[in-house]
A and B are shown apart, each in its own frame.
Chain A
Amino acid sequence: MTRLPITKTPKVYVGGAFIRSESGRTFPFKDARGAFVGHIPQCTRKDLRNAVEAAAKAGPGWARRTAYNRGQILYRLAEMIEARTGELAAALTPGQPKGVAAATREIGACVDRMIHYAGWADKYEQLLGSVNPVAAPYFNFTVTEPMGVVGILAPAEAPLLALLSLIAPAIVSGNTVVALASEPNPYPATVLGEVLATSDLPAGVVNLLTGFRKELIPTFATHAHLRALSGVTSAEETKALQIGAADSIKRLHLQPAESPIDWYDPRVQGLYPIRNLVEFKTTWHPVGA
């Protein structure tokens, strides 16, 4: 007699907990052959606000960690992804065993991307900060600080690699994030939550939502506690976000969905995605007895 397998209920990862949408709404997710995979939470504006609250709560503690510690935690996250390559690859390609090779390549790229940013944790400051030679007796220096809570809008494609490529440069500097997963392919993000939960990443640093962009983008645009948005958006979404961002003078770093991005290209990573999501603070300290 064959054993009936236990299927996993997809849940979103918010504030370190696995939750359904507060609204109780879900939408069915089907695999490539049209077979039912699971019910994906259809997160609401209220879920988004709750996630921002969780991220805001986690923010100061995460920002206070030493750079070395944040680097190690990002590295640990990479270790966890590597260890779960099979599971994540399967989540990328439900019902299409032939796609597993490509999916495994995506997971490998995710691991490499995390390692890249793990290494940046205690280095970007030396490149982005400065001591400034002012023409007066002051020790004047500029340091970076995280912006706070960053909203992330992942593109449709590369549902894990693009998502992580957007999250990593945000959290490496001490920001916390609320990320909306790929709309057409949200399932892998629900599995990614389990990976995050078993890494050493503190609860609330990364919060993952699934749902519909049309429903959530107005709140991403206007929520005053989201200090910055980073992601890939259509021209129409970009305009809506830019108009809404004016309310609280939000920082936006949006890439056009209309021009394809090769997420495997090492050129999408580096110092400047980190720079986009930090503030610069300059301190004047007198020099004297």
Chain B
Amino acid sequence: MPAAPAAKKSRRPSRPAPELIFGDLWEFDPAPETADPKLKPRYDLFIGGAFVAPAAGRYFDSINPANEQKLAEIAVADERDVDAAYAAARRAQPGWERLSGAERGKYLYRLARLLQDRAREFAVAETLDGGKPIKESRDFDVPMSAAHFFYHAGWADKLDYAFPGARSISAHGVVGQVIPWNFPLLMLAWKLAPALATGNTVVLKPAETTSITALKLAEILQEAELPPGVVNFVTGAGETGAAVVAHPAAAKIAFTGSTEVGRRIMRATAGTGKKLTLELGGKAANIVFDDAPLDQAVEGIVNGIFFNQGHVCCAGSRLLVQEGVADTVIAKLKQRIRVLRVGDPIDKNTDIGAINSREQLERIRRLVDAGVKEGATLHQPPCRLPAKGFYFQPSLFTDVQQSHRIAREEIFGPVLSILTFRTVDEAIEKANNTAYGLSAGVWTDKGSRILKMSTELKAGVVWANTYNKFDPASPFGGYKESGFGREGGRHGLADYVKLG
């Protein structure tokens, strides 16, 4: 082919598109969501269908990470309380499993509906307790939680259809569940809904920093007249979680959290015969090919890493960009993150809210410092962070090597590490070069390449030309050290039944 005529070049002068600068030109008026979260000053444990004071009478303060103000006092459950919770769950289990599937389903439908009724109240409570932007808790966490109950409600009387050829299908019994602080209500719904639909009863421990929406959901369990003991909530820190995992009455443990704690749980349950499902950490590759719709990809990259302040186990924290478009993508990203609004989570215009806890903020800072020290280049937009509360500005790293800690360890914060690649094979190699395998993203215009990448990537969820999409019908879970078992869909249901 002869070289393209030079005239083509001259028709399009290479002037960059004018940049819209928002920055500090205008002050935004505050737009706080004002619905009443209806918090109680003190929350007790929820055992056997009632709120009960902890045996030791100890409470801790749950604070709002946006301003470090106390929201409520939360009970600390010790071994005696955990034991009482298991006793209640055990008493309730046979009756719950004997109930017809249709009746169990009706309770779950009730939960979905009651949660929808109080959606805004729950969204505000979730944002105050965890620091996530109100637009996310309002438009994602709470409606998706209700959707999980609604979806699983319909499975309860259809289990025979879910497992072809199984001679018997039964519940495990009492299930112990430990959930993380990044999606407090949603993770609770992911855990409770399939467990209840299949006839298990539950002892669940919310994360220490985000217990409030679980305890508010306990009010909904009461409103729904769920039989006492079917669901029990024990609050507290790591010791409470360890007691939940160690209790001999637990037939199964379901955990979502870090790979390190997942390992500890595997060791703690070794030899006990307890069934286990683990949804652990991730270091997902988000792969952008040179034929991708770049503006769309940039939005996807931003959503992939800055959604929920990056407190997402499947966050697209390693961006792999094909060399030919790397400069363009990085320039667009830098421009895009300048207009992200970081600040008060309860403000309806906020894009990036508060980091969940001081501890997590320090962990993010440590890893970012390590990135700088190891030689990567840090880019942060100018932005003013609130004086009180835990905040971290959206951050990009370029010049990242695969060996850098920021390319290997889960940061769990709004920090993106950018690497480049030339060929499809190199992209696959780099994407899979991690101990994790929870998720991956692929951006390309070519359908066959999407399917090729999806086949080769060692990850449980692959998003093509999108990122961070979830649905109750869509199985979610990891390969390799991102854990085992699935949540959602028929596949998730399978982890809560015993097949004979």
Contact = CB atoms under 8 A, between A and B. Distances in A.
Contacts of B5: none
Interface stretch (A110-118, A132-140, A165-173): A132-140
Nearest to B164: A127
Contacts of A281: 454, 459-462, 479
Contacts of B486: 280
Given A280-B475, A283-B454, A246 B480 contact: no
Contacts of A138: 466, 469
Nearest to B490: A130
Nearest to A135: B471
A104 B387 CA distance: 81
A98 interface: no
Band of interface residues on B: 35 or more
B158 to A, nearest CB: 14
B424 interface: no
Interface string A225-251: 001000000010011101101111101
A280 B164 contact: no
Contact of A130 (B464, B481, B491): B491
A275 B489 CA distance: 15
Contact of B474 (A227, A248, A284): A284
Of the candidates A142, A235, A272, the one having the most CB atoms from chain B within 10 angstroms of its own CB is A142
B461 A284 contact: yes
Interface residues of A, number: 36
B471 A132 contact: yes
B199 to A, nearest CB: 19
B499 to A, nearest CB: 6
B473 A132 contact: yes
B325 interface: no
Interface in A274-289: 275, 279-286
A239 B266 CA distance: 10
Contacts of B280: 249
B147 interface: yes
Interface stretch (B21-29, B267-275, B411-419): B267-275
- Report whether over half of chain A's contact residues are helix, strand or loop; otherwise say mixed: mixed
A267 interface: yes
Nearest to A140: B474
Of the candidates B167, B270, B454, B483, the one having the most CB atoms from chain A within 10 angstroms of its own CB is B270
A271 B167 CA distance: 12
Nearest to A243: B270
A270 B165 CA distance: 8
Contact of B475 (A132, A271, A272): A132
A238 B267 CA distance: 12
B366 interface: no
B35 interface: no
Contacts of B282: none
Contact of B465 (A246, A280, A286): A286
A44 B90 CA distance: 46
B251 interface: no
Contacts of A284: 461-464, 466, 469, 474
10 contacts: A130-B489, A132-B489, A136-B469, A281-B459, A281-B462, A283-B450, A283-B454, A284-B464, A284-B469, A286-B466
